[in-house]
Chain A
Amino acid sequence: SSTTQVVHSAGRRFIVSPVPESRLREQ
């Protein structure tokens, strides 16, 4: 799986990773 990091100018770090399918609500 791939994760990416986004750092906001205020310094906060956001780590983005794929949501496991089991955590997604069935539509």
Chain B
Amino acid sequence: AEDTGVRVELAEDDDGKKSSIALKLWVEDPKKLKGKYKDSGAIEFTFDLEKEVPEVVAQEMVESGFFHESDVKIVGKSIRDRVSLIKWKRERTVPARD
């Protein structure tokens, strides 16, 4: 995935079954952000892989004061990349059926 300067990782083991999963996001490289960034730490949240949209979560983070509005796209993309990877891994580990 592209280096956005924003890191998103699983905050729990993925059992491959539940749709809602805990993710953790933090800024690795503040220079990649457009807006002024106040280092607040790692942000943990739950994300529903089936129902939710990464960009909506990014918007909620902006509204909660974690990021400047100009960085909503980069945060959304960072979450989307990680979510895509989780889904891709899940697809590859689906048990074979008759």
Whether chain B is bound by chain A comes out as yes
> Which A residues fall within an 8 A CB radius of B?
6, 8-10, 12-19, 23-25
The B interface, classified by DSSP as helix, strand, loop or mixed, is mixed
Q: Which residue of B lies closest to A20 (CB)?
A: B42
Chain B residues with a Cβ closer than 8 Å to the other chain, count: 18
B43 → chain A closest CB, angstroms: 5
With A6-B64, A8-B60, A8-B64 already in contact, the answer to whether A16 and B28 are too (CB < 8 A) is: no
A-B contacts at CB below 8 angstroms, number:
43
Q: Which residues does chain B contribute within 8 Å of A16, judged by CB atoms?
A: 40-44, 66
B81 interface contact, C-beta 8 A: no
Q: Which residues does chain A contribute within 8 Å of B45, judged by CB atoms?
A: 12-15
Which of B26, B57, B61, B63 lies in contact with A9, CB distance below 8 A? Answer: B63
With A18-B41, A19-B42 already in contact, the answer to whether A12 and B57 are too (CB < 8 A) is: yes
B14 interface contact, C-beta 8 A: no
Q: Which residues does chain B contribute within 8 Å of A12, judged by CB atoms?
A: 45-46, 57, 60
- Report the bound CA distance from A13 to B22 in whole Å: 11
